[in-house]
Structure 1
Amino acid sequence: MDFSEILATFIGRTVEIIQTNQFLQGQLRSATDGFITVEVVSSNYIPTSQVVTVLNESISFVRILPL
């Protein structure tokens, strides 16, 4: 199993994505080879909810939050 396949088992769950220059929190929408999409909740950095695509290479850490 690779990174994308493991993340795909958590689709629909709330996740925290840490990159070198930003932090994202939202619902994991998809995980395919090379990138994931997350519906990010609004925050100080992102004023409205939106779907963000993140390349796997730029991810430093993923935390799957408990239900």
Structure 2
Amino acid sequence: MNFSEILATFVGRTIEIVQTNQFLQGRLTSAANGLVTVEVVSSNYIPTSQVVTVLNENISFVRILPL
């Protein structure tokens, strides 16, 4: 099982993704083929909600928030 397959089991959950220069928090919408897609809630960095796709290799840390 690879990283994308493991993350795919958490689709629909709220997650945090830490990258070298960015922090994202939102609902995981998909994870496949080395890409993670998150519906990001608005924050200081992103003023409106939007869908963001991140390459697995650019992810430093992922946290799955409790239900």
Q: Pick the TM interval, shorter chain.
A: over 0.9
The match for 1:64 is 64
The match for 1:4 is 4
The match for 1:23 is 23
Secondary structure at the counterpart of residue 47 of structure 2: coil
Amino acid of the structure 2 residue aligned with 1:64: I
Secondary structure at the counterpart of residue 6 of structure 1: helix
Cα deviations across residues 4-36 of structure 1 (Å, max 9, x unaligned)? 000000000000000000100000000001111
| Runs of 5+ unmatched residues, structure 1 | none
TM-score, normalised via structure 1 length:
0.98
The match for 2:51 is 51
What is the rounded CA distance, in whole Å, between the counterparts of 1:11 and 1:48 in structure 2? 21
| Runs of 5+ unmatched residues, structure 2 | none
TM-score, normalised via structure 2 length:
0.98
What is the rounded CA distance, in whole Å, between the counterparts of 2:17 and 2:36 in structure 1? 10
Percent of aligned positions that are identical: 84
Deviant stretches of 4+, over 3 Å = none
| Corresponding residue pairs, total | 67
